[in-house]
Amino acid sequence: MNKKQKKMLIRIIIAAVLIVVFSLLPAEGYLRFVLFMIPYLVIGYDILKKAFKGILNKQVFDENFLMAVATVGAILLGDYSEGVAVMLFYQIGELFQSYAVGKSRRNISELMDIRPDYANIEKDGTLEQVDPDEVEIGTIIVVQPGEKVPIDGVITEGTSTLNTSALTGESLPRDAKAGDEVISGCINMTGLLKIRTTKEFGESTVSKILELVENSSSRKSKSENFISKFAKYYTPAVCYGALALAFIPPIVLLIMGKSAMWGDWIYRALTFLVISCPCALVISIPLSFFAGIGGASNQGILVKGSNYLETLAQTKYVVFDKTGTMTQGVFEVSGIHHNKMPDEKLLEYAALAECSSSHPISKSLQKAYGKPIDRNRVTDIEEISGNGVIAKVDGVSVAAGNTKLMNRLGIAYQDCHHVGTVVHMAIDGKYAGHILISDIIKPHAKEAIAELKKAGISKTVMLTGDSKRVADQVAGELGIQEVYSELLPADKVSRVEELLNQKSEKAKLAFVGDGINDAPVLSRADIGIAMGALGSDAAIEAADIVLMDDDPLKISKAIKIARKCIRIVYENIYFAIGIKILCLILGALGIANMWVAIFADVGVMILAVLNAIRTLFVKNL
């Protein structure tokens, strides 16, 4: 509890004790009025103050005005204990709501704590703390154990483990060493790291995340907008209805020559006002979405607004990019075939022959070789564009490349029956086997597709620029229903538009991607989901939802969170409106008293708020 909530709790306790004590005293008349005004002012002075300010600002019709009129009216009718009790229970509901909002806000507050306050720069052998905004790209910064990484960069020196839980929701620390990319917001747990910055602070991951979260509340869902408009017209309507209930029936009775019973009808009107207070809807609906966004962020899923949460709940089609989304986007040597010399020796020849190339395939060969490259052993390097490389390694002629290179050299080769990029090798003019390099499927990718099907997703589709053979193999292994290969970025947009035209208006389509060429598709889909940790800035900017740890399994979790959130929203709408309509009818007929009104207002609000904060508890979804 914060200080404000503690003060309110103290006021509630004092007012409750005074109400009990004064109810037991035999005081009558003005003395009883004065005694009950003490707890009333203790518990309700701020409501009266807000109601008065609302009248002065010509913003009369809100819950403060309703509570002020209802309680003051009850006291003027002589129902002192009921008038004070209504204000007491209303404030109990407000305290409960404040605590619930604080709890849901805490998840986002924890995320806000990732903002670093400073960066360390080494000058003349000593560390100097500077504002992260002042650090330029390419600067070497020092991050000591226990400190936050302030800016995105590449480790140039040191090894450590990084706590990324605030960003990804993943509790396990990650190892980091020289050459690894690190993102801002992580906490350095063990060794000292030197990092060369690759972005300015304003463009770094931590700044982007905080900007997304801070702006999320401005994007309202249809349900929230409906409730706001509903309250705007509903509150004045019930005020005028209460006024009519207080005066029209007594006047009609007078015309008919009967007793007007002014006190009875005014009491009914005041009861009507308390019942009609729209707190349960106005508070619980935004709170449900806020709790959903907070619960999702705690799981490493950033939702840019409640409108996207609402759209995600209606998703029936999920379309994936392949490389970097369902696969790791990291090419590795996955097999060596048809070779007579040892695997290690063939790899050594390939890595040395490719040593001058910066191509990802060359880097994969050098990584698999795993030893320092001695360029002095390599001579006569000839790189043939679109074919491969010819060089001499230790005086031995080595050719490494594709089938075009083998045909060019007139060397018979063996086809590979596995899917991936094949590097054919020829040593001294004779075929020596081939090395298979593949993009590795992400560990949870297959499970992610299965979970989406369990969640009721009717169609899964994969779009990729890769070859048909590779695309079909990956889609088949993962269980994806449709696959379209050899696509340009513009082709992906066209395919998504075709799928959008095929589906019904209620069913929504989500696209999941990570690369800069996915940005147009992310924008075109009903809902765009970006892989945030390794994804491009353009993809994250274009997406509506960002998965901070690149785990495709989080897609189904995000959909389940969204559906749970929307289910709770509609439960609260139906429950609150249903109870209020029933109690309003009973109040107008004189059957419901002020205690029923308290339940219809405060009781329903507390139950709705309790229901709303269930969205925070999403770990077992």
CB contact at 8 A, 99 and 612: no
Residues 6+ positions from 434 with CB-CB distance below 8 Å: 336, 337, 338, 339, 413, 414, 416, 422, 423, 424, 425
CB 69 within 8 A of CB 273: yes
Q: Tokens 């993009």 sit at which residue?
A: 439
Picking from 258, 132, 246, the residue whose alpha carbon sits closest to that of residue 200 is 132
For 456-518, where are the alpha helices, taking DSSP H only? 468-478, 489-502
Are 238 and 191 within 8 A, CB to CB? no
Residue pair 595/82 in contact by the 8 Å Cβ criterion: yes
d(CA 284, CA 289): 9
Question: 408: which 2 tokens?
Answer: 């060019």
Q: What angle, rounded to 10 degrees, do the helices at 553-588 and 604-612 form? A: 180
3-state secondary structure of 50: helix
Asked about 321 being catalytic, the answer comes back as: yes
Q: Using CA atoms, how far apart are residues 338 and 431, in angstroms rounded to an integer?
A: 9
Cα torsion 271, 273, 278, 283: sign: negative
Query: CB-based contacts of 532: which residues, under 8 Å, 6+ apart?
Result: 205, 302, 540, 546, 547, 548, 549, 550
Are 528 and 493 contacting, i.e. CB atoms less than 8 angstroms apart?
A: no
- Residue 574's Cβ-count burial label (10 Å; 0-12, 13-18, 19+) is exposed
Q: Are 295 and 287 in contact (CB under 8 A)?
A: no
Among candidates 513, 577, 589, which has minimal Cα distance to 544?
Answer: 513
Contact 401, 408 (CB under 8 A): no
Query: Which residues have a Cβ under 8 Å from the Cβ of 223 and sit 6 or more positions away?
Result: 285, 289, 310, 566, 569, 570, 573
C-beta of residue 290 within 8 angstroms of C-beta of residue 101: yes
Residue 398: name the closest of 373, 420, 371, 377 by CA.
377
- Say which of 321, 514, 518, 544 is annotated catalytic: 321
Give the separation between CA 577 and CA 278, rounded to whole angstroms: 9
Q: What is the 3-state secondary structure (H, E, C) of 517-585?
A: HHHHHHHHCCEEEEECCCCCHHHHHHCCEEECCCCCHHHHHHHHHHHHHHHHHHHHHHHHHHHHHHHHH
Angle, CA 439 vertex, CA 544 and CA 186 arms, to 5°: 50
Distance, in Å, from the CA atom of 565 to the CA atom of 285, rounded to the nearest integer, reads 10
User: Tokens for 170?
Assistant: 């993943």
Q: DSSP characters for 149-162?
A: P-S-EEEEE--EEE
Amino acid letter for position 327: T
Residues paired with residue 194 on neighbouring β-strands, in sequence order: 142, 157
Strands 527-531 and 545-547: parallel
Q: Which residues are catalytic?
A: 321
